[in-house]
Structure 1
Amino acid sequence: MKPHVIFVPYPVQSVIKSMLKLAELLHHKGFRITFVNTEIIHKRFLESGGPHCLDGSPDFQFKTIPDASSVDDALQLWNAVETKFLDIFLDLVTSLPDPPTCIISDGLMSAFTVDAAQKMNVPVMLCWPIAACSYMCFYQMKSLVEKGVIPLKDTSQETLEKTLDWIPGMKDIRIRDLPSMAWTNPLGKFFTFAMEAAQRSHEVSRNIIHTFDELEGSIVEAISSMLSHVYTIGPLQLLVDQIPKEEKEKEQSNFNGYSLFKEEPECLKWLESKKPNSVIYVSFGSSAVISRQDLIELGWGLANSNHYFLWIIRSDMVIGESAVLPPEFADHIKDRGYIGSWCPQEKVLNHGSVGGFLTHGGWSSTIESLTAGVPMICRPFVGDQMPDCRYICNEWGVGLEMEGNLERENVENLVRELMGETGQKLRNKAMEWKAKAQIATAPNGSSALNFEKLVEEIAMLSSN
């Protein structure tokens, strides 16, 4: 009998996208897949990709669990994960025709998936679709409290600039480089939720991190010394790209994309008319929100830079208002700017005309940009975007940090810097990381070998 793996992602775009890629890879290896989304997420997939986008195949099934809350309300979601999802999930698993070989759960869903696995006596692995640096920060939150670092006595600039020299594998990390809830809402709900999730890493047989050894070697080494069986298997897209197209079609597992938003491929046609490295791509991901004033400032900053730009403005991106720009803005930019509501990001980043990326620094966007060899301007908003930004700009040498508010002069100057001579140095460094990512995922590369080990171990569980 084929090994049967149940995937349980945290219900946000970036996590689902990464875990779908891992599921697709395991399916290609002959595994049966059951991918569990909440009902709201399932509905959004059907709205964005059409009524048959999740048809999959007999060996790749999508199942749902009822939403015990609105997934748009994070606090309600965390409460549901901790108090309601366990029984719902157990009912689902027991209703499946074949018992699972193992469960691969997003780390933030461990509050119920680890308990469920223990009740069913099924092995469970945690998947962390974040950077190793961000995982280490979440893991060290318990020590930050025990050492009295947080709650902070004050949040002055001087305090936030203080460095910590004791976090394994991380050199000169500043307090402001920690995930934002460590200093904006210490001991709040998300802080304790993330801290406890990271500590549950010790309760599972395997931990999977979406990074590659060459990128975060010292941190991966430190994590591996704390936990048994840590697998770095990124960038996942480069592994997926190695599946021959005809085999994908034969397996019928290439469901229609990974996006919860309807993509606009027209932007790719617009990019075709632009010179190499002449366009800056601007997107703050699937959930970041800004004020209308910030939207206008960002827009004029892009316009005044006199560079071509492709700008993604989600319909829900502006807090409490519609994301509408002044009429004179459209007249001013004419054909220099393309504005869309969502796009096939990896295709955009890999397009030859794109020379830079203004990003929130979420991990999916970051690793996709590194994979494409595109340098970044990083404007983090919340959570793990802070440590990601630190590493993008200070450790990997591929980005410029945007500090403070989204002011037009700031945006204009940074865009000009990234797209000019300074940016060429960053672009060269990004291309080096692109090459290293390709080596890591090539046969006998670190990520490719780790993935093969993971496949072997799941197969062994099936034969026991």
Structure 2
Amino acid sequence: MEGPQTCSPHVLLFSAPAQSHINVLLKLAELLSLSSVRVTFLTTEHSHRQLTHHSDVLRRFSRFPAFQFRTISDGLPLSHPRTFSHHLLEMLNSFVSVTKPLFRGMLVSGHFGSDLTCLILDGFFSFLFDLDDDFVKVPIFCFRAFGACSSWTILSVPNLIKQGQLPIKGEEDMDRILNNVPGMENLLRCRDLPSFCRVADPNNDPILQFIVNAFIRSTKFDALIMNSFEDLEGPILSNIRTLCPKLYSIGPLHALLKTKLSHETESLNNLWEVDGSCLSWLDNQSPGSVIYVSFGSITVMSNRELMEFWHGLVNSGRKFLWVIRPDLVMGKNGEIEIPPELEEGTKQRGYMVGWAPQEKVLSHEAVGGFLTHSGWNSTLESIVEGKPMICWSYKYDQQVNSRFVSNVWNLGLDMKDLCDRETITKMVNDVMVNRKEEFMRSATEMANLARQSVNPGGSSLVNFDCLIEDIRILSQQKMPNNNN
């Protein structure tokens, strides 16, 4: 009979209510569950409703009897749009005034059970704890959904302000090279800094101060978990370890999960309805002939930008699969007048869906390139599948990611701050035809390194095994000594 000494560890995961965060943390939850760790997954009531409506998570996680979902209020009315692109400050105020006291009360009352081994907290929510809190009786591991390159850049922002590198002094200052980010000398321009750095008064901007303080706080917890791998970001991970020595780099998490599953599958953790018809369309296309276009879950563009992308794609003469979310374009999509040449060009060479099964799309042999917003999950998914990228970054970490894709890893082109049909046409043809061999060579090499990292002996698999072992040790330390 199994005694108390053999009880499995119990981990609470708390995810921020955003598509990219929920997606990657559910993959971590699945990995922990496969390693016989009991998981309680906490997110907001609104995100949970969307998730269970548009994905199979309840069925998928039902194979882990000890796994449980829990929800918490975000304090916002049902009608609130909850978009991180335009309502972040409003959402933050509600999280601070409503979610923070609720969550702290749950922990104190033992709402999640008296046997918690540790808490894995989304770094976005690092403000839920004060550094001098003593009511938390378990270790806190922080999970960062951003890559190391953007995380280190954000951690360096206070020094950039102190040294007079910020604020940016208008458009004429955007291409100034920054030499004050250790390990990134002569690489980053002002325009490559995270989007929230483009403010007039960085010392008093609430969004910049919140994000920077959240990242600094992330390094103060018991450990840091990052969705990256040593062959991709090793030197920068080493810099972050100077602030947080206990750092587990265990990415790409979606690839690590696939190595643990006995069948080929994609864990769909979507907040929108997936249109799988695009896979049948791809089946009828030639290998490497399609440019896949998706701007992620938070990008919002104007009608003019939509038209420039559309003209650029059609004028390129290449086949394209384009994800156009219902809320991608500002205003009402129905008011857009579509020129006949775009309708005809799309009918001949294009396919559009509201949301796609991205991992399956990127792994499809018909896809030869990815026009992306450079979100970290999308970047890693493209890297694993060896698909070159065209980067049109929108917000937050994406500006840094796109610079690394183009100027460090040589995996594609950076189109940030540009949106004209001529540039789009040229870059699509460069990635798909003119410079295809160059980019494919780099992409294939990096894909091999990514896969090696999650296979036996690979750095990410070794680090994940260390994480599991450390959680088990913590669990054993919590057990009563029955020898007394």
**TM-score scaled by structure 1?**
0.93
In structure 2, the residue matched to 1:90 is 104
Matches within 5 A, 1:228-307: 228-245=245-262, 257-307=268-318
Corresponding residue of 2:118: 102
2:145 aligns with one of 115, 129, 138 = 129
* Aligned-pair CA distance for 1:171: 2.7
Conserved? CA contact 1:163–1:175, under 8 Å: yes
Classify the secondary structure of the residue corresponding to 1:99: coil
- Determine whether 1:164 maps to 2:170: no
Are positions 1:177 and 2:188 aligned together? no
Contact 2:227–2:250 (8 Å) recurs in 1 = yes
2:3 maps to none
Distance 1:122 1:421, change over 3 A: same
User: Is 1:16 matched up with 2:31?
Assistant: no
Deviations 1:191-238 (A, max 9, x none): 111111111134211011111111112111111122221111111111
Q: Distance in 2 between matches of 1:255 and 1:363?
A: 18
What residue in structure 2 maps to residue 409 of structure 1? 422
Aligned AA (1:68): G
State the 1:408 CA deviation: 1.5
Partner of 1:452: 465
* Equivalent residue, structure 1, for 2:232: 215
Q: How does 1:294-443 map to 2 (within 5 A)?
A: 294-322=305-333, 324=336, 326=338, 328=340, 329-443=342-456
Distance in 2, Cα, partners of 1:333 & 1:23: 40
Letter in 2 for 1:307: R
Look up the equivalent residue of 2:117 and give its one-letter code: T
Q: Which moved more, 1:276-285 or 1:120-129?
A: 120-129
Q: 1:266/1:209 Cα in 2 relative to 1: closer, same or farther (>3 Å)? A: same
**1:262 Cα offset (Å):** 0.9
Alpha-carbon separation, structure 1, partners of 2:11 and 2:52: 23
- d(CA) in 2 for partners of 1:256, 1:226: 33
Gaps of 5+ in 1: 249-253
Give the conservation status (yes or no) of the 8 Å contact 1:8–1:104.
Answer: yes
Name whichever of 368-377 and 437-446 sits farther off.
Answer: 437-446
The amino acid across from 1:62 in the alignment is F
Percent of pairs with identical residues: 35
Aligned residues: 456
Higher alpha-carbon deviation: 330-339 or 5-14: 330-339
Cα distance between partner residues in 1 of 2:179 and 2:131: 35
For residues 33-56 of structure 1, give each alpha carbon's deviation from its aligned partner in whole angstroms, at most 9, with x where no partner exists.
111110110111122126955763
The Cα offsets for residues 423-461 of structure 1, whole Å up to 9 and x where unpaired, read as 221111111100000111111111111111111111111
Q: Distance in 1 between matches of 2:12 and 2:132?
A: 12
Determine the structure 1 residue equivalent to 2:47. 41
Deviations 1:5-30 (A, max 9, x none): 11111111111111111111111110
Kept in 1, the 8 Å contact 2:314–2:346? The answer is yes
Residue 243 of structure 1: how far off its partner (Å): 1.9
Q: TM-score, normalised by structure 2?
A: 0.90
Does 2:75 match 1:75? no
User: Gaps (5+ residues) in structure 2?
Assistant: 1-6, 478-484
**Residue-by-residue CA offset, 1:111-170 (whole Å, 9 max, x unaligned):** 005669742221101111111010001111222222232233x1233x222222232222
Q: Please say if residues 289 and 317 of structure 1, whose CA atoms lie closer than 8 Å, have aligned partners that are also in contact.
A: yes
Comparing 114-123 with 257-266, greater Cα deviation is found at: 114-123
C-alpha change, 1:42 and 1:255, in structure 2 (3 Å) is farther
